[in-house]
Amino acid sequence: MVDLVGQYEKIQQEVDEAILNVIRSSAFINGPEVKAFQQELENYLSVKHVIPCANGTDALQIAMMALNLQPGDEVITADFTYVATAEVIALLKLRPVLVDVNPETFTIDPSAIEAAITSKTRAIVPVHLFGQCADMDAVMEIARKHNLHVIEDTAQAIGANYTQNNGRVCKAGTMGIIGCTSFFPSKNLGCFGDGGALFSNDDQLAARIRKIANHGQSVQYYHDEVGVNSRLDSIQAAILRIKLRHLDEYAAERRRVAGVYDRAFAGHPNIITPKVFSRSEHVYHQYTLIIKNADRNKLREYLLERDIPAMIYYPVPLHMQKAYLDERYHEGSFPVTEYLCSSVISLPVHTEMTGEIQGKITSAVLDFFKLPN
Ligand SMILES: *Cc1c(COP(=O)(O)O)cnc(C)c1O
């Protein structure tokens, strides 16, 4: 689905040197590279505070801890997402309240959020799924009206610009009280292992996040509260500093590849190409089609037989996952998510796609629909 080797080879010398420098300095934890990456990402995002941590799941967990969410508090998020979003809610004994998504953009449906709010609701977690932002104007307005926190899960959309109603342009993850991201290798800004970060414009909250991520201590060996151990290591930070300089160019390349797919599949009776939400730039973490009146599983097998990777993100809605079964929800509770889970397929999209390979992929997809039945 991605070509991480090809991407590495283009920056190999720089990356190898940076890794060696960290090894030679042996400042593996919280070294100068981490601080420098933090500041460079703050500048890139125009956000006051970036707090690096060990992975995107930790970022979400630390965000909810820093906001003092208490057992039983309700947190609203999308049914159509990667499990991490709901996992940390459940882990902290908060109550995940799932809502459906918009059938065109795949992101959380604001009217469904309003309908799910109760006196126990404390936070909303919009997920900027597949590389474009949820309707943040609507989400922020609902949050203001009901006095709720907004934690953006921007693991799939780092770098995407969002144009607010008032014309202000900001980066995904900088509109809510906290933004959370992941540097998992296949994410748009990926390191060579695990990594993550939280973003915030709130000074006090940022200090609290830092403390929680560091065993609840603000002074070494003095622990004010129960925290976690969640750090980005210096080698990963050194790699991320280099890749951050290429992030906009990587996003442009992903958009170009998406454009080629869009044109190849335009108007096809069985294929719905991804719809771009007017307010958000799309950075195409995934290029995800909806397949109509045909079996997308058979399409996937057909592609795999031809050595073309294709993935189903995600095959099962959260409310139908064994670990998240809940008497409030049943089959039919979230019809849009259920429909998407049964009809989407994602094609390879990355920064090293050649015309030849993409031509092979589009031809194979189109050929599949020419088969009898
Ligand atoms: C990848 C991802 C996460 C979790 O990130 P990790 O670094 O793997 O823990 C959370 N939410 C979404 C939407 C993701 O895609």
- Mean pLDDT value of segment 238-250: 98
pLDDT(245) > 90: yes
Q: Which amino acid is at 201?
A: N
Q: Which helix (H) or strand (E) holds 198?
A: strand 196-200
Question: Is the pLDDT assigned to residue 299 strictly greater than 90?
Answer: yes
Q: Is the CB of 274 under 6 A from ligand 1?
A: no
Average of pLDDT values for 288-317? 97
Greatest Cα pair distance, the chain, in angstroms, is 70
Instruction: Report the nearest-CA residue for atom 14 of ligand 1.
Output: 155
- In testing the pocket of ligand 1, which one of 125, 127, 153, 230 has its CB within 8 Å of the most ligand atoms? 153
pLDDT value, residue 372: 85
pLDDT of 110 > 90? The answer is: yes
The response to whether residue 79 sits with its C-beta less than 6 Å from ligand 1 reads no
In whole angstroms, give the CA distance from residue 112 to residue 91.
24
Which residue out of 79, 80, 82 has the highest number of ligand 1 atoms within 8 Å of its CB and is therefore the one to mutate?
82
For the Cβ of 155 lying below 6 angstroms from any atom of ligand 1, the answer is: yes
DSSP code string of 152-167: EE-TT-TT-EEE-TTS
Average pLDDT over residues 16-32: 95
Pair type for strands 161-163 and 169-171: antiparallel
Positive or negative: CA dihedral 362, 363, 364, 370: positive
Q: Is the CB of 82 under 6 A from ligand 1?
A: yes
Q: Average pLDDT in the 148-170 region?
A: 98
| 182 CA to centre of ligand 1 in angstroms | 6
- Please check whether residue 204 is in contact with residue 192, taking contact to mean a CB–CB distance below 8 angstroms: no
Phi and psi torsions of 242, nearest 5°:
-70, -45
Q: How big, in percent rounded to 5, are the helix, strand and coil portions of the chain?
A: 40, 20, 40
Task: Decide: 235 in ligand 1 pocket, CB within 6 A.
Answer: no
What tokens appear for 1 in the block? 């689905």
Band (201; pLDDT cuts 50, 70, 90): very high
When computed from its CA atoms, the radius of gyration of the chain, rounded to whole angstroms, is 21
Among 1, 53, 55, 57, residue to substitute to test ligand 1 (most atoms within 8 Å of Cβ)? 57
Comparing 46 with 30, the larger pLDDT belongs to: 46
pLDDT tens column, 160-181: 999 999 999 999 999 999 999 9
Domains, the chain, ordered by start: 4-99+106-244 (3.40.640.10), 247-368 (3.90.1150.10)
pLDDT beyond 70 at 80: yes
Ligand 1 site, residue 346, Cβ cutoff 6 A = no
Task: Assign 120 to helix, strand or coil.
Answer: coil
Q: What is the pTM of this model?
A: 0.97
Residue with tokens 């977690």: 125
The structure tokens 């039983």 sit at: 72
| Statement: residue 202 has pLDDT above 80 | yes
Q: In percent, how much of the chain has pLDDT > 90?
A: 99
Nearest to 263 by CA among 351, 344, 359, 188: 359
pLDDT in tens, 314-329: 999 999 999 999 999 9
Q: pLDDT, tens digit, for every residue of 214-224?
A: 999 989 999 99
Edge-first strand order for the sheet with 95-99 is 49-53, 196-200, 178-182, 149-153, 121-125, 74-78, 95-99
Considering only CA atoms, which of 250, 78, 256 is closest in space to residue 160? Answer: 250
pLDDT at 373 over 90: no
Segments of 43-117 assigned E as strands: 49-53, 74-78, 95-99
pLDDT averaged over every residue in the chain: 97
Angstrom distances, CA of residue 120 to CA of 66, 140, 144, 249, 318: 18, 18, 16, 43, 21
288 lines ligand 1 (CB under 6 A): no
Q: Assess whether the C-beta atom of 57 lies below 6 angstroms from ligand 1.
A: yes
pLDDT at 118 over 80: yes
Cβ 131 under 6 angstroms from ligand 1? no
Task: Please indicate whether residue 196, judged by its CB atom, sits closer than 6 Å to ligand 1.
Answer: yes
